[in-house]
Amino acid sequence: MSGIEYYWPGSANNFDQKISISGMCDSSHADIVEDRKTTLGMITYLNGMPIHWRSYKSTSVYVATTGAEYAAASEAASELIWTKHLMEAMSMQTEAKVSLYMDNQPAIDIIKSGKLTDAIKALDVRFHHIKDMYTRGDLSLDYIKSEDNVADLFTKPLGKVKFQELVSKIMFFKPP
């Protein structure tokens, strides 16, 4: 038994359980006043436990909020697929699809339909692979209410109450 299997949440009772990989992402469109770039954030979960999170400044200026959310989703989806491949390389069984939750319905609709809007067409090609991940069936994409999206912790300043509420939701994520 490897060390990761020994300490894996839920593994003590069931080694045949497939690992669930999910995540949330968000953006705060053009929030950096000096250059109008966007703060992007994401969190990755394995079996409902957070294992990776990050907040970073975008390298591009996005014309619309939907473009910023689309870019955040693309980056998060890549992280989830990478995590899935890492688990499989360690001979661990994973669910067939990774799950990504985001709070921007227009971005979800564009990814699912494959129809690009003018604001999305202008995005760097590196972000468009999310459509391929979804079409191949590697990725499920679902809406989550903004108040439940813990990725907000990584994209914008929050009041004390909202901050504490999201921090309390960060552990043991259960999909809606």
Ranges in the chain, pLDDT < 70: 1-16, 118-127, 176
The DSSP H or E segment spanning 56 is: strand 49-57
Phi, psi of 67 (to 5 degrees): -65, -40
The torsion region of residue 36 among left (phi > 0), alpha (psi -120 to 50) and beta comes to left
Q: What is the pLDDT of residue 41?
A: 93
Q: What is the pLDDT of residue 48?
A: 92
Report if pTM > 0.75: yes
Question: What CATH number should be reported for the domain whose range is 19-168?
Answer: 3.30.420.10
Q: What is the pLDDT of residue 6?
A: 43
Q: What is the pLDDT of residue 171?
A: 82
**Contact (Cβ atoms closer than 8 angstroms) between residue 171 and residue 49:** yes
Which amino acid is it at 86? L
Q: What is the pLDDT of residue 126?
A: 64
Cα separation values, 121 from 34, 59, 66, Å: 25, 17, 11
Q: What is the pLDDT of residue 36?
A: 85
Q: What is the pLDDT of residue 34?
A: 83
